[in-house]
Amino acid sequence: MSGEVWSFSENPAVACEVAFAAEGLADKAGLTQATVQLEEGGGASGRSVLVISGPSGPFSPEVCAEALFRAASARHPRAVLIGATRNGRETAARLAAKLKVGCLAGVTSLGVEEDNLTGERSAYSGKVVAKIGARLPAVAAVKPGVYPPTTAVSSTIAELDVGKVERQVSILGTTPKEAGTVDLKSAKIIVSAGRGVKKKDDLGMLEDLAKALGGALGCSRPLSSDLGWLPEEHHIGLTGVTVKPELYLALGISGQLQHVAGMKDSKVVVAVNTDKDAPIFQASDYGYVGDLYQFVPALRAALGR
């Protein structure tokens, strides 16, 4: 097989991961990896870089997908890998619809079998790993945080002017998420709060524990989405942040599948819950049936901090 595997993400860190994924796929299938760089976004790392010019203005998935479509119509890549950020998922879906090809969404591994692009993804809130496939050429949205960043040194293989792209959506402004935002993705230790916390003020106790451990505070969906006790950036789960810390302390979290989907790759999981049948214990290394209000002070004492 010959041809190109493209990688793209508007997020520079994710772009390096997707480039790494594309390099691996290129090696498996005898293809050439190329990182796509647009003026409005995209990485510059990888074995080679394809520079696309024409569109201008802030990054938008509709413009990016159209630019990629025009470039793909000219160079016919065998596969286009896009980082599955929220904007990336839209870009990938739109590109696949334009090209009338399959899109493997949110994959964590990639391969080529005969004439198909294959990939694995989590389904049913992480209960199942599904291997899916689509005939090449195909698009894949690659889950961030799975692949390491590329170390390849890039050279430009081509520059392509795809012309102006019309916008249907106007971006009025962008604001960073609420101040005091946590970086759960890079936290080594996460203390996570669930419905077992009785009132908002009690979160202080868990926040103090997180600080004492040098970690960050997360929560399950009810605390952020329903009760609004913590900003959405703390929400760990299928529709929130996916984390994989060294230590995950689930306090008063029942462990619904949608929560577990966001923390199942943690190295060590400790769960404390008053309900001995809480599903969180199925996703834990160490479990204690008890009251977090008694356990947390005891833990602080045992830690000596």
Bond into 61 cis (ω within 30) = no
- Of 18 and 51, the one with the shorter C-beta distance to other proteins is 18
Find the binder of other proteins among 168, 180, 186, 199 (CB under 8 A). 168
Q: Is 186 in the site for other proteins (CB under 8 A)?
A: no
Q: Is 27 in the site for other proteins (CB under 8 A)?
A: no
Find the binder of other proteins among 74, 76, 115, 135 (CB under 8 A). 135
Asked if residues 75 and 52 have their Cβ atoms less than 8 Å apart, the reply is no
Q: Is 133 in the site for other proteins (CB under 8 A)?
A: yes
Residues 247-276 that bind other proteins (CB under 8 A): 247, 256-258, 264, 267-270
Residue 19 CB, shortest distance to other proteins, in Å, is: 19
Find the binder of other proteins among 33, 122, 220, 254 (CB under 8 A). 122
67-102 as b/e, with b when 16 or more CB fall inside 10 Å? bbbbbbeeeebbbbbbbbbebbbbbbbbbbebbebb
Q: Is 214 in the site for other proteins (CB under 8 A)?
A: yes
Asked if residues 99 and 72 have their Cβ atoms less than 8 Å apart, the reply is yes
Q: Is 155 in the site for other proteins (CB under 8 A)?
A: no
Q: Is 295 in the site for other proteins (CB under 8 A)?
A: yes
Torsion over CA: 195, 199, 200, 202 (sign): negative
Alpha-carbon span 273 to 144, nearest angstrom: 31
Alpha-carbon span 85 to 92, nearest angstrom: 10
What is the total count of residues that contact other proteins (CB under 8 A)? 90
Q: Is 225 in the site for other proteins (CB under 8 A)?
A: yes
Asked if residues 66 and 165 have their Cβ atoms less than 8 Å apart, the reply is yes
